[in-house]
Structure 1
């Protein structure tokens, strides 16, 4: 027996379960005689307990040491505490270890750096980094990866705050991308080399091909200094943003550059940090450099890069990654599947999202919820409800995200009965306290015309964030209570809740439905002046619609014509509809011309202009327009309506 125990202690990897570890512990306790020998055996058992994340057993065994515990015991207890989420205890044991004169090694630092990242303690993390350098482990691969991961998580780009004091934006820009790109904002590559194209037989023939596959980014990246022209910020503010960006780059970059050996995890960490902070061009350039190092991307690499092409709505590059994933067997990975579903949905290729989901061999909770969310977000509400039912039939338990994703479908379809059933399910499962679920339920009741129910849910919430306040403002707005929407918006500001783009859209919608022109113009100016929020198409649409409803047609035309974003067909059609109401033929003809420039076969433009002619008795023009429609093959589709029978 003693020989068997000694053999196992010499090779503890043969222990495959926690029960076997405890049996070995019992045998060691029986034969304890020499305290020094017992301490060595106990340290080995402690490492085995740590491998199985048995924190209670680790702590009990650690407290039995009569002499100062050996280094192996310290390392195991620190690692086990970190793995179980007891981060403060992990740090406490590390400090005791140093006080006992024991030096940490490469087995300790990754766990300790993970602890710093979870606690958000950058200062202590930097101190650990200094300790890493002092003990000469800054060239260790695993320690280097852990250091980069910590800096990526603890040094996000907080440049947005710099722009709070900037004046009104002048031109079209994507706010967050402009901040993260820091003045010299790189335009997305127009001429990308195919990373995942080529014949299958060339893919695995050599390391050189592995490098070629990664050449997705062309060397000639076009840079565009567009932030300064869009946002009036002083030089000092620009320098602050630069310094924030450079500090993060330096922290991660210095660790990365000093690593003598870099594996796929190293590159993925840097790449993930770039994507996390919206630095998409840097992420793609890192991917190119990774290819030069003769390393092939893994499933994590692909799931990190896919959101970039979703952001840029570049479905062709996304399909190249999809093809690469299929050829290398990564398409079976659930995270790759979910990323592909999101990418195709963002690129308005919902049918491809359906195919990816249906071909997925393993449909877990993540993939089901991704499919439900993309259906609802793309307006396929019936499909979203269908997938929700199928998920329940498949035995997958819904989570909070499931309900917050599906409730908007009930609101848009005005299916109050189904919405109430889901609300009951939410209460029974204990998700009614979740702020996102509560906000979605509140929005559903508002869209179904149940303002009192929406307000009851809002008042019941323990904490109201910007999303819940915005949902309540929109509830009043959609139901014609313009003054109440404004009052609630002002109360939101009084409570210290900072409005976002959606909040201003809600109050502008309230003004539009309530005919409050002056108030709408005031809030439209405030969103850029007071909060540095760039107005989007929906904000312009709300104000132009209000001006049209109020009969201020020429003012609405000038407002749309001077938009810093190219007006869409829907915005012009809204004004054309107002021209019909107010029988303004001359302006209607000008607006119809703008619509037909965007879409020469716009059915709505022809029909609305024809109706304008009819309303003022100009029958010949109306008949001529109808003949032109038939000649061009433009045909109005039959509309339909439905009502829910309670």
Structure 2
């Protein structure tokens, strides 16, 4: 490349006109050709060092800086230090600074931002304090770029309002650059640096706002900073909005969120992909999924972040089918799924128990080598467990190279929900012994659930104590609920009542309902009526309380009281949720409702079910008509039980799968006592495993037995 004299002079006056490293090297070669080899050691040295530094050409910078007879100028020192930092050679940057000071050269303000960046990357607070001491000593506190760098350094090192042990005078000394520097007092903070800055730009405001957000400062403080920013005649930009939207989402403050959204539209920031994704997340956290969809559809640039944010929003808001639909649409575009795509969509498969689709996704994950990603692996494990395939979940857990708290917790909960309570407890104890793993609240909920399902009352009490005393975790209502459930299932009804009544937090309908369910099992009508009163005090229209009490009356043979209660519910306009059971056949979900004859294959289903019922009755099954809700004759009770949704689904599964195939069902309510007994017999005479996921847990029926041990 040849340069004219005018072009050469223009480039030497304005280095920003050099757009590529190739142009820089060609220009350098041209200068050497015109001026001779000594040009590298002449006044051009500092110029080309600065240019090479801008392109992070460290080797070229070092060769030029160390050229024979070269006497580095202040600009040259600044350039080599900046290039070292930009290239990630932080220790070399410190070495060059020390050499600079030793040579007698006084640093200018442009050197310190690079050194402060070095301190942040090395997580070296002492070094950062020493650099700050140099800044104060040389009077550069008022420099805008140095001030911004100081805030950023202290913020990244979590030094905002940090309290350290200091000498009595509040100052300490550090040797840096060959000189002893007095560092700042620990009483100083990022906020004080910010307030002391005479000039602040958009970067200054964004830095202080970002640090407060990272530190979890009160939302009102952050919001006030944003307002003050406007008062300072600086408009919040895309970076500002994408910083504050997550805390608005966390607090689910939809009014503030809409205010920010309106500002973004007025100032043209809403087209920014990061703002769009943040708005999707914000509306999703505020349970405004339709608004999230509107933002997504109006986005001019639907990148992978937008797609994944929208898919995650659907799944988190329970719109699982919509999430799957969006995932399929994304596959039809040019956007290739990434790890977060699968960790977002797999929970939808788990909740819908679409094992067929889950396996397809697993195949894609393996082919594209996402199976080593710990988040994807944990999501796969959870999906298989919730779809009833505990063996696959265990296989995945065993082959994971790295396990975090989430993966351990998912496996403990998998064992607990599948009736393998002892394995769950043992795995939790193994988790506690792992050096790098610390159980969290979810981990303790998983092991307490195992204790509940297994009837381990003493262990449940022990884990609850260990949670607070050993790990300093505060139990939530769900943890107390698991303990009360364990007491109730074990027949300790009075003790469970006292436990709930004595809680330091207000009991909920959910925790009382666990005890009311136990009252049905043990036919304790008096306590059930007391518990129902407690539940109705919390929620006068609580349908769960009335339904469960009605079941208690029926179980105790008090048919008239049960009928009165159901009449009361009808007068109030309360309707019991219809029992329904789903079964997946060849990737298609079939849903059956109790007594529903609308399925196209109902005639054949009825014949198949009758044949199965005749076979299990011949094998010793006797219908438990005491669980029927209406006081009618025995034959009508038997007929009412025979058309329960799970039985229709089992018959349909037998019709449409090969002999020996596992039948997997999902029910929206708890499986009733008689269907539980019938399913045990069916597993025996059909020689099949029947897996039922009900509202509370999994039941694995095999060879005439159930994994719950009839304890549910």
Scaled by the length of structure 2, the TM-score of the pair is 0.73
The 5 A counterparts of 1:300-311 are 300-311=239-250
Counterpart residue number, 2:590: none
- Give 3-state SS (helix, strand or coil) of 1:107's partner: helix
Residue of 404, 412, 416 corresponding to 1:465? 404
Say which of 89, 104, 109 aligns to 1:106: 109
Please report how far the alpha carbon of residue 536 of structure 1 lies from its aligned counterpart in structure 2 after TM superposition.
1.5
Residue 608 to residue 307, structure 1, CA distance change in 2 (3 Å): same
Deviation (angstroms), 1:139: 0.8
Paired residue for 2:86? 83
Counterpart for residue 418 of structure 1:
357
SS at match of 2:520: helix
Q: Would the aligned equivalents of 2:160 and 2:190 in 1 still touch at CA under 8 Å?
A: no
Distance 2:159 2:193 in 1: 16
Question: How far, CA to CA, are the matches of 2:126 and 2:36 in structure 1?
Answer: 45
2:381 is the alignment partner of 1:442: yes
Q: Offset at 1:470?
A: 1.9
**Which is worse superposed, 124-133 or 49-58?**
49-58
1:324 corresponds in structure 2 to 263
Whole-angstrom distance in 2 between the partners of 1:32 and 1:592? 97
Residue 407 of structure 1 is matched in structure 2 by 346
Aligned twin of 2:33: 30
Cα distance between partner residues in 1 of 2:227 and 2:317: 33
Note closer, same or farther for the CA distance 1:380–1:115 as it changes in structure 2 (3 Å cut).
farther
CA gap of 1:289–1:640, structure 2 versus 1, over 3 A, is same
Equivalenced residues, count? 561
Give the CA RMSD over aligned residues. 2.8
1:96–1:429 Cα change, 3 Å: farther
- Give the corresponding residue for 2:434: 495
Q: Pairwise mapping of residues 596-635 of structure 1 onto structure 2 (< 5 A)?
A: 596-635=536-575
Which structure carries more strand by proportion?
A: 2
Specify the alignment match of 1:524 in structure 2: 464
**Mapping of 1:508-523 within 5 angstroms?**
508-523=448-463
SS in 2 for 1:560: helix
* Pairing 1:451-462 to 2, within 5 Å after superposition: 451-462=390-401
Cα displacement (A) at 1:252: 0.9
Tell me what 2:519 maps to: 579
Return the alpha-carbon distance in structure 2 between the equivalents of residues 433 and 89 of structure 1.
Answer: 35
Q: CA-to-partner distance for each residue in 1:65-107, whole Å, 9 max, x for gaps?
A: 6413333233233323333434334334333333343333333
SS in 2 for 1:638: coil
Distance 2:517 2:160 in 1: 45
* Deviation for aligned residue 1:340: 1.9
Aligned to 2:310: 371
Match of 2:533 among 593, 598, 616: 593
1:512–1:153 CA distance, 2 compared to 1 (3 A): same
Cα offsets for 1:326-349 (capped at 9, x unmatched): 222222222222222222222222
Partner of 2:133: 130
Q: 2:420 aligns with which of 471, 475, 481?
A: 481
Q: Specify the structure having the higher radius of gyration (Cα).
A: 2
Distance in 2 (CA, whole Å) between partners of 1:159 and 1:473 is 38
The one-character-per-residue Cα deviations of 1:422-443 (angstroms, maximum 9, x if unpaired) are: 2233233333222222222222
Contact kept, 8 Å, 1:156 with 1:277, in 2: the verdict is no
Between the aligned partners of 1:606 and 1:263, the Cα distance in structure 2 is: 63
Unaligned regions of 5+ residues in structure 1, if any? 161-245
Equivalent residue for 1:199?
none
Partner of 2:201: 263
Q: Matched residues in 2 for 1:487 and 1:158: separation?
A: 43
- What is the CA distance between 1:394 and its match in structure 2? 2.4
Contact 2:324 2:345 in 1 (8 A): yes
Paired position in structure 1 for 2:222 = 283
Partner of 2:649: none
Correspondent of 1:142 among 114, 122, 145: 145
Contact 1:527–1:535 (CA under 8 A) maintained in structure 2 = yes
Match of 2:96 among 93, 96, 112: 93
1:487 to partner: Cα distance: 1.1
Residues 164-214 of structure 1: CA deviation (Å, up to 9, x unaligned): xxxxxxxxxxxxxxxxxxxxxxxxxxxxxxxxxxxxxxxxxxxxxxxxxxx
How far the C-alpha of 1:291 sits from its partner, in A, is 4.2
Partner of residue 350, structure 1: 289
Cα distance in 2 for residues equivalent to 1:131 and 1:156: 18
Q: Which has the higher helix share?
A: 1
- Offset of 1:527 from its aligned partner? 0.4
Picking from 49, 53, 78, the partner of 1:50 is 53
- More RCO (CA 8 Å, sep 6+): 1
Q: TM-score, normalised by structure 1?
A: 0.80
Query: Does the 8 Å contact 1:82/1:115 carry over to 2?
Result: yes
2:251 is the counterpart of 1:312? yes
Residues in 1 aligned to 2:417 and 2:402: alpha-carbon distance in whole angstroms = 24
**What is aligned with 1:335?**
274
Whole-Å Cα distance in 2 between the matches of residues 277 and 267 of structure 1? 16
SS in 2 for 1:67: coil
Residues 598 and 337 (structure 1), Cα distance of their counterparts in 2 relative to 1, 3 Å cut: farther
Q: Taking structure 1 as reference, are residues 158 and 560 closer, same or farther at Cα in structure 2, changes over 3 Å only?
A: farther
